[in-house]
């Protein structure tokens, strides 16, 4: 008995590459002191534990390389992974560091121009844009934030559509959602306790301000399906009708 394959089926591609845009934190180092880096990262994690847990990050060594300060990529990666980050690439390293990074299964990324202002912090987490947006400006997203997507803003974040279950929106300032909020919303992730979340329809999986959060099981369903604001009062999340 012979088997005849469908020629049309055999012509169908089994995969394809598509371009996409993803935002993830970039870890810029200004010191090779691993102990100080660990302490600085632990402080960042306490400010926004849900955002940084299992977060993919890029390690940026441009400042250290420019100042001829050496650091062992293996020790650094082990430290970062022990804090539940997932490093995926190295940027700005020297040839030796790039070779070590490849052995650690990290991608080697192109360098980009950096701001001239120096930082005194041994570890600074930023978004990967070459130029940080003006903190006084708001970032506006007009399309739906779909499941699996993560949006990070260094300023106020305004969503003009919905946020699906399984999606995550994070802002260093306030969050405004002009549609159903079904995913996770984290405002003031760098510790701004004056940040607020505004929403026309709350059905969130998680809400958080400055690291203080509630999950859906603890949310009062009386706040669902109507305009609300969420803010902090004495380290407690307050959900209030608008």
Say if residue 237's pLDDT is above 50: yes
The DSSP secondary structure of 39-96, one letter per residue, reads: HHHHHHHHH-HHHHTT-EEEEE-HHHHHTT----HHHHHHHHHHTT-EEEEEES--HH
162 Cβ neighbours under 8 A, 6+ residues apart = 144, 145, 177, 179, 180, 181, 182
53 — pLDDT class (breaks 50, 70, 90) = confident
Confidence (pTM): 0.53
Rounded to whole angstroms, what are the CA distances from 30 to 4, 77, 224?
63, 16, 45
Distance CA 49, CA 46 (A): 5
Distance CA 91, CA 112 (A): 9
More confident position, 126 or 77: 77
Rounded to whole angstroms, what are the CA distances from 27 to 4, 50, 99, 119, 180?
55, 17, 19, 13, 32
More confident position, 216 or 238: 238
Q: Which CATH architecture has domain 26-126?
A: 2-Layer Sandwich (3.30)
**What is the Cα gyration radius of the chain?**
21
Say if residue 68's pLDDT is above 80: yes
Say if residue 20's pLDDT is above 90: no
Question: How many CA atoms does the CB half-sphere of 138 hold within 13 Å?
Answer: 12
What digits encode the pLDDT tens for the residues 26-38?
788 999 999 999 9
- Reported as type and span, the H/E element at residue 7 is helix 7-11
Distance CA 7, CA 192 (A): 60
User: Which two tokens mark 31?
Assistant: 């010191």
Distance CA 61, CA 89 (A): 11
Distance CA 102, CA 126 (A): 23
Say if residue 194's pLDDT is above 70: yes
What digits encode the pLDDT tens for the residues 151-167?
888 889 999 999 999 89
The average confidence (pLDDT) of the chain is: 81
User: Which two tokens mark 214?
Assistant: 């509630």
Domain 139-241, CATH class in plain words: mainly beta
What digits encode the pLDDT tens for the residues 101-139?
999 999 998 764 443 333 345 666 554 332 334 445 788
Say if residue 2's pLDDT is above 60: no
Say if residue 9's pLDDT is above 50: yes
Other beta carbons less than 10 A from residue 116's beta carbon: 5
Quote the pLDDT of residue 122: 64
Question: Where in the chain are the domains?
Answer: 26-126, 139-241
Provide long-range contacts, Cβ within 8 A and 24+ apart, for 96-100. Answer: 97/61, 97/65, 97/71, 97/73, 100/72, 100/73, 100/74
Say if residue 7's pLDDT is above 60: no
């Amino acid at each position: 008995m012979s088997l005849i394959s469908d020629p049309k089926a055999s012509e169908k591609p089994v995969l394809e590459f598509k371009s996409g845009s993803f935002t993830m934190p970039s870890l810029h180092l200004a010191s090779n002191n691993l102990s100080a880096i660990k302490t600085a990262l632990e402080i960042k994690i306490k400010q926004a534990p849900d955002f940084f847990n299992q977060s993919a990050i890029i390690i940026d060594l441009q400042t250290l390389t420019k100042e001829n300060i050496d650091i062992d990529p293996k020790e650094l990666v082990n430290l970062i992974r022990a804090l539940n980050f997932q490093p995926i690439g190295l940027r700005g390293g020297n040839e030796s560091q790039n070779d070590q990074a490849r052995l650690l299964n990290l991608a080697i990324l192109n360098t980009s121009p950096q701001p001239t202002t120096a930082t005194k912090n041994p570890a600074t987490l930023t978004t990967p844009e070459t130029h940080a947006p003006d903190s006084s400006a708001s970032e506006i997203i007009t399309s739906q934030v779909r499941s699996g997507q993560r949006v990070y803003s260094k300023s106020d974040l305004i969503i003009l559509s919905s946020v699906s279950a399984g999606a995550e929106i994070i802002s260093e300032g306030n969050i405004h959602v002009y549609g159903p909020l079904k995913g996770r919303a984290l405002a003031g992730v760098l510790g701004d306790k004056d940040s607020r979340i505004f929403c026309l329809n709350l059905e969130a999986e998680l809400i958080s301000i400055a690291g203080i959060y509630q999950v859906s099981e603890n949310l009062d369903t009386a706040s669902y399906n109507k305009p609300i604001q969420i803010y902090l009062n004495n380290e407690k999340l307050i959900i209030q009708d608008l």
